[in-house]
Chains A and B, each alone.
Chain A
Amino acid sequence: MTDPIVALEHVSRGYDGGRIIALRDVTLAVRPGEFVAVVGPSGSGKSTLLHLLCGLDRPTAGRVLFRGTEPASPVAWTKVRARHVGFVFQAFHLFPTLTALENVEIPMFGVVADRAARRRRARELLCRVGLGRRLEHRPAELSGGERQRVAIARSLANSPLLIGADEPTGNLDSRASGDVLDLLEDIQRRDGTVLILATHNREVASRAGRLVELGDGRVVSDRCAS
């Protein structure tokens, strides 16, 4: 069995000085090439788990290991996110004053030094997600589905090992949702990238190879999807 890309060891996450516990004593490992859907009702801790797996948040107890080691500081986690993690937000979070091309270039600052190389890579990625003719459009000039495609292209900018997606279809109609999920699935299959998707939608989750179900901050079940 291959070594995990990311692993949680007895991780808990509390807020307000421990009065609210979002995640309790979770142990979980995600290995290369996996497509994991994190499911559960609202408030079950899906997003918190996803944020911890992607290095966006720190646990209040336990350890988060990335490729076998625990990044020692917030700066070390920043480097991990820059080079190995892509993230797709439900609300896209594109920069309104930048074009699609420029939005995709953003994560490459500090990773790819050459300006022309950044531009070339951004163009390639936007072509890959089917937006080759929308390179110079700003987010306000794109549909919801197109914006999420730009966000997916952005998440791929530095060829990550892991992509986290928090309700990526939450703001999309059913047709755009299908397109976005097809795209994410295609990326996961072709590139062998780990895809971790948090959703409350069972239909969306059914596409994943592994289902992690949460309830009240605990892992209720962790199984291969049938």
Chain B
Amino acid sequence: MLVSISKNRKFNIRMGVYYESNDLRKFGKIADYDKELADKFFDWYGAVFEEGALTAREKALIALGVSHAVQCPYCIDAYTEESLKFGINKEQMMEAVHVASAIRGGASLVHSVQMMNKVNKQEM
């Protein structure tokens, strides 16, 4: 339901909805609350994605994988589209997601060594 709250009217907020795809377009508005830090962030962000030792294409694919690892729906939208721009195909995108997922899964599993250490130490 569209709720009209005077201070939020300009954002056209749909209360009760956590993620709105249109909110991605409003990313720049974070500067409304703190311009200085937002400017620093966007400058840095822009520089990060420029061609360097890695190509912009490679960076788009890394970003797509990370977007899934951090489960950010805005980032997934943005970097799926960015990947399409560079002609990255479906198979390559899905492999990137599996890489991210493998690291996430592995990150949990590798902690089991700690569990095993604890077990081995404490159990008779």
Whether A and B are associated in the same complex: the answer reads no
Q: Which B residues are closer than 8 A to A by beta carbons?
A: none
> Taking beta carbons and an 8 Å cutoff, which residues of A are in contact with B?
none
